[in-house]
Each structure stands twice: as structure tokens, then as C-alpha cells.
Amino acid sequence: MEANRITAPRRGSLRTVIERVRALGRRPEGLPQPSANRSPLEQAVGAVDLLAHVDRELRFLYVSEASLRFIGYHREYLQTITLHDIVAPADAERLDALLARASATGSIEKATLSLIKSLTYPVTVELRVVRNSHDGVEGFAIAGFDVSAWRATEERLTHALHHDRLTGLANQSALVPALLDAQQRADAHGTPAALLLLDIDDYQRVNRALGYDAGDDMLRETARRISNTTAVSDQIARVASDEFAILMPAAASRTYAVAAAEALARRLLTAIQQPYVFNGQQVHLSASIGIALYPDVRHVNDTAGRDNNLLRWADHALLQAKAAGGNTLAFYVPDDDPADAERLKLEADLYDAVRNGEFSLHFQPITSSQSHGVVGVEALIRWLHPVHGLVPPSMFIPLAESVGLINYLGNWVLKIACMQLIQWDMRGIRMQYVAVNVSPQQFRDPRFKDSVREAIELTGIDPRRLVFEITESLLMHDPAHAKGLLEELTAMGIRFAVDDFGTGYSSLAYLQRFPLAKLKIDRSFVENLLTSRNDQAIVSAVVGIAQTLELELVAEGVETEEQRTLLTEMGCDHIQGWLVCKALPSEELAQRFEAHTLHLHAPSHAGPADPEELAHLYRTPA
């Protein structure tokens, strides 16, 4: 690697050093001898590790005292050798090229190479060379800086950049250049390349059941099994949490490549199926494998995205294997489903909707099960498509997540919801809070906290009137990060509700771990509550958990008076659903209050109330 890739700090000008070397005067016998005290020159350039002057044949004319200590040779020995003799043989050509450049340009040239010190071990130095004369002898002035520590750091960082720390395998950064090279060779020589993507089926259940240490241990064991199953010529990489890539060497023909890839995939499936053991407990896993070959005759004219075709096709095949139920392999088959074209069109429409302001918020009231008064509202985003009308959130929310628009939409919803609460205040409709859904992507965005602060500062809303609804899976994806972020936002006054509670982990342990304020019972348990003993038992258990942990409980999807009555008797605090009101635009909801179809909840006076809180919630705006 050339030295201009690793540049050591330059302490003083090499030209100045050369001029001072000239000023030393003529020394007729051999190399200059050191004086008892260091010369002014050596004091001036003492930070330079190697300071020397050589003639055209690279014989040493001058070497500083510090240089002798650095390279470890006696002055007398240096009189018998040349610069070539202390340069590592592998770098001899690089030294010759450096000197040739310096001779041709007359300027300072530099390169990084290895010098052999007296104990025969190499040290990496940056040599800076300029054509010059010493005592009338034409040659080169040389200054060298020890960059071995820099080179070791660079090698360590390069290794870390291209390797997975958990398994020691290459990572995707290292895989991509290998894929490009394989595709280029396939294009040039007609030798097909094969890529296998292996993904552990439902790997997250290991983390949930046994913890992250167990999951990490099994990933390391999976990497070991893949390494033992593949050939030395296969390139293995860990490209995602539980996803591994195997790039096979070029095959003589497509038929041979298909057979070899399928045989390897079946061996890998068998290897993964063997029992894993963690702390004496056996765990059985399976895997899905997607296989793609390059080139693919079905895409011979496909030039778009050719630089990542192999990886993209293998990923598509992996999805096909997962869709088939897992524990199987699938070769890439182009999907010409018209739904793909419709999805692409909807993606384009989604971007147009952002630009054209086609999104709006509807608000669904949340009422007290005792007073039937409204305590708050949930803000729900709606997309009114100019052709298709209202697009269901279940369709466009996942699409927004996949194309990277969900953070923008989530931040927009937060700001508009806060503004609307303030506008209702000004009309005398002062609800306690507005609830806003937060997607997993939005929650994991490093800028999420700043977006929340920006919305609060922009609207002037009291953070205590904000409730963020999050899912159980969001909390368990990265519990440490989730706990830290929840604690920071809770300290600001924001409260958190777990949405669709009962459909995920429903673990008492995680409820105790996180600073939560509310649980929302999923509508699936409310739908058959009157007739299903199982649903009644589940709701009763959730009520018990909420009361034990002093969490407010909201039941979603309440559609009948009988459901509300039973939920109230069971101890549910709040009701949300079409029985009270469907989600409405802000103006229509305000009209419901003004027509007294809806009314605000008045806090019970059975117990002591906080005067400041009451004044805050019901103070008439100026």
C-alpha cells in the first residue's frame, strides 16, 4: 500500500533537514562519527525515526545517531551494505520505484515499506525521499517515520470492517466484492456462479425462550457447522442476524453448478437439523435456503442493478423457501405476478401522496368505562387516494416501512396530533391526552428523540398529554435500547402504552422491566368475550396483571353495550371502539362534543385529587 494512504505526522520540513545535513561539512573517512553530545541537527530532527543520506548506488553517506538506535545496526556495518539490504525483499521493487520517482521529479516522494531491523524482524516505515547531494556526492536524502502502529491499527480496523465479530466469518462488506468478481468472471468466461442464502427458521424464539446468550451461542455453532460442511474454496459470510451466505466457486457448466449447489444445500439443511445443546438443554432448529445462479438466461437483457443481481435473486429464492413453510431449499424463479406491478405503482403513488398532502388524521375517542366520558383520543393516519379512495392502513403502512417513508409519516402524525390537541383546547374541548402509534423503524431511528422534542417545542404541548403506543415485539427486539429510550422519554413526561397486548409475549417479566403506563387489550379477545370462556379467562388475567402493576387498561374493538358492561365488571378502566364512536376527522369529532353526543370525562372526587392536575386539564384557554 502506498504511503499516501497512511500519512504519518510530519515533524519539520525534509528540505530543512537536507540543508542542515549539507552544513555538517566534509567528513573524509567513512560515515560521520557521533559526537559526545547530540548535534544541533539531530536535536532539530530527533523526532524523525530514520535520517540518512545515500549515494546513487544506495551506499550510506550519513546516518543519524537516532537512526542507528532505531534500526539497531552498528555504524561500521552500515558502511558495508546498501539501503537495499535493510529493506524487506518483498518491498525491493517498491523501493526502486520510489527512488525512480524521486530521481525523475526532483520532488519529495514517499512510500510505505518494511525495513529489516538488526533482530531480523520487519518494521513498517514511511520513507520520504528527495534527490540531493551530500558533500558533493549525488544521491538521495531519506527521512523515515515508524508507522507500524498505524499499520497494525489499520489492519485491525480493516479486519473488523470485513468480519463478523460474533462468528469470525466474513460479513456482507467482504462478500459484496467477491460477488461482483464472481459475476464479472461469469460474464467474461461463461463460468456460472452460485450463491446460497441460509436463514434459521424462527430463530428469535431461541432468544425469547433461552435468552440472547443462548442465541449467540447457537449462531456461533451454526457458523461452525456451515464451515465444516462447505469446501475450502467456498466463501462464507454472515450477512444478517441469523442469515449466512455461501458463495461457491465457478463451475464448468450450469448443470454442474445446479447439482453442486443443491447437494450442498441439502447437506447444510441436515447439519442444521442436528440437535443444538445449551446448558444441557437440547434445542432443535431448521433452516431455509435460497439458491441463485449467475448469469440467468431469464435476465439476459436485464442490465438494471446488475451489480447486485446474485444477492438479490438469492434473497428472492430465500423468501420463496420461507413461503413454502421453511426447512427446505428453493432455486430462484422469477415472479411475474401482476401484484408486483401493482405494488410498484402503489409505491409511486405513496411518494405522490406525500408531495400532494393526501394524508390526514382521524381520531377515535377513548372513554372511561365508569363515566363514559372521553379521556383521550387515538390518532390514526388515513390516505385518501385520488383514484382508489381510502387505502387501508394495513396496506400502506407496511409499504411505507419497506420504502423508508415511515419515519417521515410518523413524525408528521406526531406533530399534527399535538397541534390538534391544542386547537381543541382553544375550543374548550380539553382532553387529557392524545395517543400516537410509533412504528418499530421509527422507534429505532437515532433521530426519534429529537423529533419528539421538536414536536413538543413546536406545538407547546405538555409532554404529560402524550401517549405513545408501541408493540410487544418492538420492546423485545432490543430490550436494552428500548428500556433506555423509554426511560428518557418517560422522564420528559411522555407515557407508553403496549398495543395489542396478549397477541405477543405477554410476559410479566418485561412489563416489570419497562416504564409503562397502559395496556391495550387486543380486539381479538373482545370480539367473542361474551361467548368464549378462553377469552374471558385471558381478559381476566390481563386485568389482574394491570392492577398488580398499577397500569391503566384499555379495551379495543368494543362494539356492544354488553361487551362494555362485562369489561367494566371485570375491572377494565377504559373503552375504545365503535360502540362509543368510530375514528373521525378532527372537525367532525369536535362537532360531536358541541352537540353533546360525546362529553369529557370528569375525574371522580371519591379520593383526593391533585389541584394542579385538575387546573391543568380543565383550565379554560385564554
Domain spans, the chain: 3-153, 163-335, 359-598
Question: What is the Cα 567 distance to its own chain's centre?
Answer: 42
**The predicted structure's pLDDT at residue 509:** 67
Cα 46 to Cα 41: distance, rounded to the nearest angstrom: 8
**The predicted structure's pLDDT at residue 204:** 87
pLDDT averaged over every residue in the chain: 84
Please name the amino acid found at residue 98. L
**The predicted structure's pLDDT at residue 37:** 47
In sequence order, what are the beta bridge partners of 277? Answer: 282
Report helix angle 172-189 to 309-323, nearest 10. 110
Q: What is the pLDDT of residues 387-426, one digit of tens each?
A: 888 888 888 888 898 888 899 999 999 999 999 999 999 9
Of 45 and 363, more confident: 363
Confidence category of residue 372, pLDDT binned at 50, 70, 90: very high
Of 288, 295, 353, 344, give the one whose Cα is nearest residue 317. Answer: 288
In sequence order, what are the beta bridge partners of 126? Answer: 112, 145
**The predicted structure's pLDDT at residue 387:** 87
**The predicted structure's pLDDT at residue 43:** 47
Instruction: Find the helix or strand (DSSP H, E) in which 354 lies.
Output: helix 338-356
Are the CB atoms for 451 and 413 separated by under 8 Å?
no
Across 111-123, b (16+ Cβ under 10 Å) vs e yields: bbbbbbeeeeebb
Instruction: Give the DSSP letter string of 299-328.
Output: GTT--TTGGGHHHHHHHHHHHHHHHTTSSS
Question: What is the chain's length?
Answer: 622
Are the CB atoms for 575 and 555 separated by under 8 Å?
yes
Cα 610 to Cα 407: distance, rounded to the nearest angstrom: 37
154-168, 278-292, 427-441: the lowest-pLDDT one: 154-168
Of 500, 505, 536, 504, give the one whose Cα is nearest residue 518. Answer: 500
Confidence category of residue 160, pLDDT binned at 50, 70, 90: confident
**The predicted structure's pLDDT at residue 620:** 35
**The predicted structure's pLDDT at residue 523:** 87
Cα 225 to Cα 223: distance, rounded to the nearest angstrom: 5
Flag whether pLDDT at 615 surpasses 50: no
Q: What is the pLDDT of residues 297-341, one digit of tens each?
A: 555 445 444 557 888 899 999 998 988 888 899 998 776 555 666
Of 24 and 66, more confident: 66
Cα 568 to Cα 558: distance, rounded to the nearest angstrom: 11
**The predicted structure's pLDDT at residue 225:** 96
**The predicted structure's pLDDT at residue 415:** 96
Q: What is the pLDDT of residues 524-536, one digit of tens each?
A: 889 889 998 988 9
Cα 148 to Cα 193: distance, rounded to the nearest angstrom: 39
Instruction: Find the helix or strand (DSSP H, E) in which 10 lies.
Output: none
Cα 27 to Cα 9: distance, rounded to the nearest angstrom: 32
Flag whether pLDDT at 4 surpasses 90: no
Are the CB atoms for 504 and 472 separated by under 8 Å?
yes
In eight-state DSSP terms, residue 206 is H
Cα 541 to Cα 519: distance, rounded to the nearest angstrom: 12
For the segment(s) 163-335, the CATH number from 3.40.50.1820, 3.30.70.270, 3.30.420.10, 3.40.50.150 is 3.30.70.270
Of 604 and 278, more confident: 278
Can you tell me the mean pLDDT for 94-117? 93
C-alpha cell at 441: 423503524
Q: Helices (DSSP H) in 460-550: which residue ranges?
A: 472-477, 479-492, 508-513, 523-527, 533-548
CATH architecture assignment, domain 359-598: Alpha-Beta Barrel (3.20)
CATH code of the domain occupying 3-153: 3.30.450.20
- Provide, rounded to the nearest whole percent, the portion of the chain with pLDDT above 70: 85
Q: What is the pLDDT of residues 26-75, one digit of tens each?
A: 343 455 554 444 444 444 444 688 999 999 999 999 999 888 988 889 99
Cα 39 to Cα 51: distance, rounded to the nearest angstrom: 13
For the chain, the farthest-separated pair of C-alpha atoms sits apart, in whole angstroms, at 113
**The predicted structure's pLDDT at residue 504:** 59
Of 127 and 502, more confident: 127
Can you tell me the mean pLDDT for 122-139? 91
What contacts 24+ positions apart, CB below 8 Å, involve 269-273? 269/327, 269/328, 269/329, 271/225, 271/226, 271/228, 271/229, 272/198, 272/200, 272/222, 272/225, 273/327
Q: What is the pLDDT of residues 534-583, one digit of tens each?
A: 889 989 999 998 998 899 999 999 999 999 999 999 999 999 999 999 99
How much is the pTM? 0.49
Cα 349 to Cα 343: distance, rounded to the nearest angstrom: 10
**The predicted structure's pLDDT at residue 2:** 38
Contacts of 187 (CB under 8 A, 6+ apart): 295
Cα 601 to Cα 370: distance, rounded to the nearest angstrom: 9
Phi then psi for 45, rounded to 5 degrees?
-120, 25
**The predicted structure's pLDDT at residue 515:** 92
Phi then psi for 393, rounded to 5 degrees?
-55, -30
Q: What is the pLDDT of residues 499-510, one digit of tens each?
A: 878 665 556 667
